[in-house]
Structure 1
């Protein structure tokens, strides 16, 4: 498919670069009026997932289209980019299901495993459960890590995707995990790495207190980078030899050519999280169902726009995309 080379996104003049465009909405944007209905479901391995629903009407009708949203690293259903998207889509006739990855809903999950960039079994559990509600038109949306998860999931499904799945849209996706992890080791990315690692290490300590015989927190103080964390914990808790094996097995870049659902990837060119390999222009041109849009600006899960009136550019784009006939 052709690359989508034009973009109407324009940042405010006072958010001049990718860092400012990423950090300002994450810290200062407030989305009000989103009240979820929480539901806990049991996973096939006897753990749990907390689902946060927001419906357009009661009683719930399966005739309403549904959007399933997957958040980013150390996010949850309350992240501003999730709440903002839910609010905008709800106001325009879409039910929304913002699910929380294991350990991200406010309560530690029961098993040693956490979530990770390729844990598509949990996304499939959520999709299959949503389909039991009678929805006939289901859309998938993901942000950052959740975008990688969504793309890998669709690639794994391939032509066996559930007929109710219509389209997918993902933002700020680290398509190539290894180079993305290395990119976050630059000094310019220290503020992001430090924030993620403080949260991740705290969860390891909680998990070790809950399951002392199965989770070893003794390596926590050695973690300085995301790759360190993935070497000591993500890979070991999920059956990989090391971080590199985990990255290679779960990078969505390697699953794009198997996607059979109309899918759009939106990665801003000034995203401070994304390496050059996360902009696979040549590969995208060979694909049949995947479109790629790389606005010059926007940051990471940012897209705070000039003349902001409560809606991000990404939220407006999502609504336009979902309402298109193709």
Structure 2
């Protein structure tokens, strides 16, 4: 993918790298990846390619420390850091003139998207016409419990490998921090890791406090723009508590599509599969329905 990269300098002295795919559109999609993903994640690349075919602009956000460059602060990104999404939106509004902005978040990025929408309520910028969240862990505590199960051991270790690597590298810059090599390496699941690093590094009391405050489920009632939440009942990363059926049932703006199959950010997303790409097609359909595209 031939992205054009811009660095967004943040108010706290940190930065995020934004990768653009520009096609001369009045509409831009702000795409947010999942835990330890990036603008090069397969699902992001697939969506960018489909939007390019529709001549729609995309900015693929790399969360702090996810662009191939270490971020500057002891803190980093987390599932509820909606202020970083807001910073991107303000940057887009200031730097470029877009008629329509669509928010598109996958997994962790989906939770962040929903949390931002609920927190802003009716104070949301008028350019934001709609939003889509794919496989969002709306209830972080139950999602963490699911991922801690033996059946998800391989996935948990994959996440922890990169998280631990990044956290260990912070010891070189912050040798007097709360972290030690031994405690980092001893983390066996998200409860351990979030208690050790995520919570204290970002101002939370502990893992439970982080999960409670960062979960988007409590904010869903306040969403005031058309929002599509796609999740699957066979998603082994998420509990059924992450599928907000009761909230969506009588919600004016929240559209829930809970599928029987699809896994976690799955849905046959392949760049070369002409017969698949259900998810990409559904995203574009929803976007066109809610914008002037």
TM-score in terms of structure 1 length = 0.85
Number of the residue aligned with 1:320: 285
- The secondary structure found in structure 1 opposite 2:256 is strand
- The secondary structure found in structure 2 opposite 1:46 is coil
User: Does residue 259 of the first structure (1) align with residue 223 of the second (2)?
Assistant: yes
Q: Determine the C-alpha separation between the residues in 1 that align with 2:248 and 2:230.
A: 12
User: Does residue 283 of the first structure (1) align with residue 247 of the second (2)?
Assistant: yes
Contact 2:229/2:254 (CA < 8 Å) preserved in 1?
yes
User: Does residue 76 of the first structure (1) align with residue 41 of the second (2)?
Assistant: no
Number of the residue aligned with 1:304: 268
User: Does residue 49 of the first structure (1) align with residue 16 of the second (2)?
Assistant: yes
User: Does residue 243 of the first structure (1) align with residue 207 of the second (2)?
Assistant: yes
Could you tell me how far 1:325 is from its partner in structure 2? Answer: 4.1
1:118 aligned to which of 69, 72, 80? 80
Q: Determine the C-alpha separation between the residues in 1 that align with 2:130 and 2:269.
A: 25
1:138 aligned to which of 80, 91, 101? 101
Could you tell me how far 1:217 is from its partner in structure 2? Answer: 3.1
Contact 1:67/1:138 (CA < 8 Å) preserved in 2?
yes
Q: Determine the C-alpha separation between the residues in 2 that align with 1:112 and 1:203.
A: 11
Misfit runs of 4+, over 2 Å = 305-308
Q: Determine the C-alpha separation between the residues in 2 that align with 1:64 and 1:118.
A: 29
User: Residues 135-165 of structure 1: CA distance to partner in whole angstroms, max 9, x if unpaired?
Assistant: 1210000000000000000111100000110
Contact 1:65/1:93 (CA < 8 Å) preserved in 2?
no
Q: How many residues align?
A: 288
Structure 1 alignment gaps of length 5 or more: 1-33, 58-62
Contact 2:17/2:61 (CA < 8 Å) preserved in 1?
yes
Q: Determine the C-alpha separation between the residues in 1 that align with 2:252 and 2:39.
A: 32
Contact 2:221/2:251 (CA < 8 Å) preserved in 1?
yes
The Cα RMSD (Å) is 1.6
TM-score in terms of structure 2 length = 0.95
Q: Determine the C-alpha separation between the residues in 2 that align with 1:35 and 1:247.
A: 36
Higher relative contact order, structure no. (Cα contacts within 8 Å, ≥ 6 residues apart) = 1
Q: Determine the C-alpha separation between the residues in 2 that align with 1:244 and 1:122.
A: 22
